């Protein structure tokens, strides 16, 4: 293998798409003495697709790195600001988005010319030599050979690719006229919903992508049509959007999108770039963008680092987090379109807002800056009074009206003594009640001494505990009028008898352990205590413990009761097939696994005051193979709704220790969204919702009814008050305690501006 230097003299690039060509041009420009060769198996004028969209951020990087390419691109771009969403014949336009696009053929011509001018050798219509041979003969080998990368597959044991197929079929087509906006349109047919994604890429042409679920594609007969028939059928379905004009193809074929993720991007002097390394769904226009940004980063790292191995390590470290973030957004967008049928009955403006914010990268506040008129029209349709952010609209659950949509999520504090909440709980919950949230939830309050998680857990199994809770609820109702306080009742199940969280989460107590019980005798993790399988008589006892605790909770003054059926605690343990291996009436099918949690719910509801709401927290997925699925979660929610639950609090995971959660911003919200639309029950979304902008976005899009936040309220007990101040909101959706009103405006900060010059001199 040639010597690794920070200026590798001989570079081989496999693949002549935009990423490979731009990498070749940059690497040659940075060091004209390099020998750079590109192998492209197609002819110069052969390519798939039609138009390419690039962001201002990407263009800025191109302008800085290679002004010649930038100027050539500028001459051919078409630019526009608007997005049109057509929903059931009504078009809504949102402006201020800023797009730039050009034809893919034109982009390749520009890059071909730039490479040739710089002295890059391009071998068209030529398969690259075997990658191992290239690695032996060249100092650096860049594999930019696309989503079906043979290079990646030849070293799959090193790169460890994970390729995920998805549920929609799509086809790239073109129309010989220019849309005047980025256009999204749905067609509701007898076979199901189809969607059109269209955008201009030249003054007289547009890209048109037609997409639909696999089952719709088959039902409509597309699987039996030849390419011409498919193209004509699509043009007929979307005749109004296309102004009656035909569509054309470029060897186009129906395909399914594949998400590519690699554990590693480099191996020796071989590195992956663009779609070979990663893919992101076309609905956020990111494929070419990511490939070009990869090329920019790779060239920069080769220049900055002392040798090729260091450069490739730096390149991977720099790009992986960026790509992972983009892929999360792309997956959210992809799944939104896969599940588009779920949203088609939304009011038209809300549907448009939901579509625009589907990836979570465009938010309510961001959209308001881009197009205040459109955003205000969505708010009016939603029912927001003038000047009222969505999060400060009221919401009713049974006899309880919440003045805003913010919930302080249950958070275990492990600070009780013998189950009795003390001064800490008074201050902790009282501070958050004063902080403006509509509903403040207790931690999981245990229904028995045996049902505690740790020795520090609070309970409601004695009169003394109930009296202590009454002290807290009285404070909230007296000092924070209009704020509701809810209690979450639960039993630890197999996750009980453990240390306080900060002493060793889920670790058994060194001494003083109590026996634990569960649906099945399965320890939570290696080294955990093995629970005893509950007998029928014990199930009856536990149901009565929940009932007694609920009766005490009502007398203690709580406004809402939540039954904890999540996170692997006792009732959750019955719901998951991974933790319930029973062969009696309480195990087996989902219907049987639901039986005991529903018995407990019914028993609690019978003693809980009729005018006060009851909610249920569930884990909508176990994040583990063979566990609870999103489909199961819908049926679980449906069952509780049928028994009278007023809302479902949708969390995920913590059921089995081997879980593999897919963390990310508001990552659990899609589960709440699905339950809300399929079960038609109010939901509470929870999980990495950290900003008031997120809350506004989720509420206005109709993905949730309430948002529960935990860590933000630990960081700032007055999070909701501050959210109101930062949005200049002073209406009835938030209440500033009289002693705090002087703080209802954001404090002044140090001066950040500088005096303007007195004189301006010019040449």
Residue 760 has a pLDDT of: 40
Percentage of the residues of the chain whose pLDDT score is greater than 70: 97
pLDDT tens by residue, 74-89: 999 999 999 999 999 9
Please tell me the predicted confidence (pLDDT) of residue 763. Answer: 36
End-to-end Cα, the chain, rounded Å: 57
- Confidence class for position 1, pLDDT limits 50, 70, 90: very low
> Does residue 761 belong to any structural domain of this protein?
no
CA gap 558, 551 in Å, rounded: 10
How far is 402 from 35, CA to CA, in rounded Å? Answer: 68
**CB–CB of 489/534 below 8 Å?**
no
Residue ending a domain, among 317, 339, 361, is: 339
Q: How many CB atoms lie within 10 A of CB 525?
A: 12
- Position 236 pLDDT exceeds 90: yes
Mean pLDDT for the stretch of residues 324-343 = 94
Same domain, yes or no: 64 and 117: yes
Number of domains into which the chain is organized: 2
Closest CA to 508 of 529, 530, 524, 531: 529
| Per-residue pLDDT at 713 | 95
302-325 mean pLDDT: 95
Confidence (pLDDT) at 756? 53
* Domain-embedded: residue 753: no
Q: Which residues of 712-730 are buried (b: 16+ CB within 10 A; e: fewer)?
A: bbeeebbbbbbbbbebebe
Supply the CATH number for residue 69's domain: 3.50.50.60
pLDDT at residue 478 above 90?
yes
Answer yes or no: is pLDDT of 748 > 80: no
Q: Is the pLDDT of residue 210 over 60?
A: yes
Which of 569, 667, 715, 740 is labelled catalytic?
569
pLDDT of res. 391: 98
What's the rounded mean pLDDT across residues 564-585? 97
| pLDDT for 599 | 98
Nearby residues of 209 by Cβ (< 8 Å), 6 or more positions away: 170, 171, 172, 173, 196, 197, 198, 282
Mean pLDDT, residues 412-434 taken together: 96
Tell me which residue range forms the domain holding 447.
348-504+517-730
Same domain (yes/no): 206, 78: yes
Last residue of a domain, one of 290, 306, 339: 339
Does residue 253 surpass a pLDDT of 50? yes
Same domain for 310 and 403?
Answer: no
pLDDT number for residue 186: 95
368 and 314 co-located in one domain = no
Write the pLDDT tens digit of every residue in 111-140: 999 999 999 999 999 999 999 999 999 999
The confidence band for 753, taking pLDDT boundaries of 50, 70 and 90, is low
One domain, residues 291 and 148 = yes
**Core vs surface per residue 17-31: b (16+ CB within 10 A) or e:** bbbbbbbbbbbbbeb
Give the residue carrying structure tokens 């909610």. 615
Banded pLDDT at 448 (limits 50, 70, 90): very high
Same domain, 407 and 329: no
Domain annotation covers residue 699: yes
Task: List all residues 6 or more positions away from 284 whose beta carbon is below 8 Å from its beta carbon.
Answer: 326, 329, 330, 333, 359, 361
Residue 3, pLDDT > 60, answer no
373 and 285 inside one domain: no
User: Does 494 map to a domain?
Assistant: yes
Q: Is the pLDDT of residue 48 over 80?
A: no
* Rounded Cα–Cα distance for residues 620 and 651 (Å): 6
What pLDDT sits at residue 6? 54
- The predicted model gives 320-330 an average pLDDT of 93
State whether 304 and 368 are in the same domain. no
Last residue of a domain, one of 339, 358, 389: 339
In a domain, 33, yes or no: yes
3-state SS assignment for residue 648: strand
pLDDT of residue 754: 55
384 and 317 together in one domain: no
DSSP-based three-state secondary structure for 341: helix
Identify the pLDDT of residue 757: 52
pLDDT of residue 759: 44
pLDDT, tens only, 506-553: 899 999 899 999 999 999 999 899 999 999 999 999 999 999 999 999
176-207 pLDDT per residue, tens: 999 999 999 999 999 999 999 999 999 999 99
Residues 137 and 188 grouped into a single domain: yes
What are the structure tokens assigned to 578, written together? 């991974």
Contact by Cβ (8 Å): 367, 374: yes
* CATH assignment at residue 523: 3.20.20.70
- Catalytic residue at 569? yes
pLDDT at 460: 98
213-224 pLDDT tens trace: 999 999 999 999
Same domain, 284 and 231: yes
Q: pLDDT tens for residues 372-392?
A: 999 999 999 999 999 999 999
Answer yes or no: is 745 within a domain.
no
Asked whether 258 and 273 are in contact (CB, 8 A), the reply is no
Q: Is residue 481 part of a domain?
A: yes
In terms of phi and psi (left: phi > 0; alpha: psi -120 to 50; beta: otherwise), the region of 195 is beta
- Distance (Å, rounded) from C-alpha 596 to C-alpha 580? 12
Looking at the fold, whether 233 and 127 belong to one and the same domain comes out as: yes
Angle between helices 630-642 and 595-607 in degrees, nearest 10: 30
Residue 156 to residue 154: CA distance in whole angstroms = 6
Q: What tens digit of pLDDT does each residue of 639-670 get?
A: 999 999 999 999 999 999 999 988 888 889 99
Cβ(596)–Cβ(539) below 8 Å:
yes
- Indicate whether 336 pLDDT > 70: yes
What confidence tier does 4 reach under pLDDT thresholds 50, 70, 90? very low
Average pLDDT, the chain: 93
Count Cβ atoms within 10 A of the Cβ of residue 277 and give its class: 0-12 exposed, 13-18 middle, 19 or more buried: buried
Determine, yes or no, domain membership for 749.
no
Q: Average pLDDT for residues 231-243, to the nearest whole number?
A: 96
Would the pLDDT of 406 be above 80? yes
């Amino acid at each position: 293998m040639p010597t690794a230097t920070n200026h590798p003299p001989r570079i081989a690039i496999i693949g002549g798409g935009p990423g490979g060509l731009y990498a070749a041009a940059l690497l040659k420009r940075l060091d004209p003495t390099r020998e750079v060769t590109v192998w492209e198996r197609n002819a110069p004028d052969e390519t798939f697709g039609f138009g390419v969209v690039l962001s201002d951020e990407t263009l800025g990087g191109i302008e800085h790195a290679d002004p010649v390419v930038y100027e050539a691109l500028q001459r051919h771009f078409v630019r526009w600001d608007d997005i049109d969403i057509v929903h059931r014949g009504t078009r809504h336009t949102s402006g201020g988005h800023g797009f730039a696009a050009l034809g893919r053929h034109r982009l390749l011509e520009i890059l071909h010319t730039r490479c040739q001018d710089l002295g890059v050798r391009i071998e068209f219509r030529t398969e690259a030599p075997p990658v191992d041979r290239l690695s032996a003969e060249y100092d650096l080998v860049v594999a930019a050979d696309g989503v079906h990368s043979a290079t990646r597959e030849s070293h799959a044991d090193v790169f460890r690719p994970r390729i995920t197929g998805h549920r929609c079929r799509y086809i790239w087509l073109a129309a010989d006229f220019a849309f005047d906006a980025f256009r999204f349109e749905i067609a509701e047919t007898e076979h199901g919903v189809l969607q059109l994604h269209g955008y201009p890429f030249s003054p007289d042409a547009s890209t048109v992508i037609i997409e639909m679920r696999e089952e719709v594609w088959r039902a409509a007969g597309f699987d039996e049509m030849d390419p011409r028939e498919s193209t004509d059928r699509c043009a007929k379905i979307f005749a109004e959007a296309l102004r009656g004009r035909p569509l054309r193809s470029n060897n186009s074929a129906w395909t399914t999108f594949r998400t590519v993720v690699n554990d590693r991007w480099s191996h020796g002097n071989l590195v992956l770039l663009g779609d070979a390394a990663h893919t992101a769904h076309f609905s956020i226009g990111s494929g070419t963008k990511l490939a070009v940004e990869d090329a920019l980063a790779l060239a920069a790292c080769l220049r900055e680092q002392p040798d090729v191995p260091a450069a490739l390590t730096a390149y991977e470290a720099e790009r992986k987090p960026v790509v992972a973030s983009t892929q999360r957004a792309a997956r959210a967008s992809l799944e939104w379109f896969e599940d588009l049928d779920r949203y088609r009955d939304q009011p038209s403006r809300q549907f448009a807002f939901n579509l625009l914010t589907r990836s979570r990268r465009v938010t309510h506040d961001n959209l308001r800056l881009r197009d205040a008129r459109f955003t205000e029209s969505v708010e009016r349709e939603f029912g927001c009074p003038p000047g009222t952010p969505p999060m400060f609209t009221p919401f009713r659950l049974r006899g309880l009206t919440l003045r805003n949509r913010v919930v302080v999520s249950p958070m275990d504090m492990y600070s009780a003594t013998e189950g009795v909440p003390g001064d800490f709980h008074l201050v902790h919950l009282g501070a958050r009640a004063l902080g403006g949230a509509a509903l403040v939830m207790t931690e999981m309050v245990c229904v028995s001494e045996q049902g505690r998680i740790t020795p520090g857990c609070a309970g409601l199994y004695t009169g003394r505990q109930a009296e202590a809770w009454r002290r807290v609820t009285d404070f909230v109702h007296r000092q924070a009028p209009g704020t509701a306080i809810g209690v979450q009742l639960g039993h630890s199940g197999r996750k009980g008898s453990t240390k306080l969280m900060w002493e060793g989460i889920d670790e058994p107590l060194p001494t003083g352990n109590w026996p634990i019980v569960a649906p099945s005798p399965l320890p939570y993790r290696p080294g955990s205590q093995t629970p005893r399988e509950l007998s029928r008589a014990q199930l009856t006892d536990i149901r009565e413990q929940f009932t007694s605790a609920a009766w005490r909770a009502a007398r203690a003054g709580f406004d809402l009761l939540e039954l904890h059926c999540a996170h692997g605690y006792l009732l959750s343990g019955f719901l998951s097939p991974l933790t319930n291996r029973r062969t009696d009436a309480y195990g087996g099918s989902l219907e049987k696994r639901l039986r005991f949690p529903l018995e407990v719910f019914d028993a609690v509801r019978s003693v809980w005051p009729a005018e006060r709401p009851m909610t249920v927290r569930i884990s909508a997925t176990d994040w583990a193979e063979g566990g609870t699925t999103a489909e199961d979660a819908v049926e679980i929610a449906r069952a509780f709704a049928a028994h009278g639950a007023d809302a479902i609090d949708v969390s995920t995971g913590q059921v089995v220790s081997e879980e593999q959660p897919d963390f990310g911003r508001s990552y659990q919200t899609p589960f709440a969204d699905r339950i809300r639309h399929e079960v038609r029950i109010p939901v509470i979304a929870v999980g990495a919702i950290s900003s008031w902008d997120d809350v506004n976005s989720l509420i206005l899009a109709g993905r949730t009814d309430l948002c529960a936040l935990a860590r933000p309220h630990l960081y700032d007990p007055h999070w909701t008050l501050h959210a109101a101040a930062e949005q200049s909101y002073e209406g009835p959706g938030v209440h500033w305690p009289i002693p705090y009103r002087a703080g209802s405006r954001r404090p002044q900060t140090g001066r950040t501006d500088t005096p303007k010059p007195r004189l301006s001199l010019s040449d």
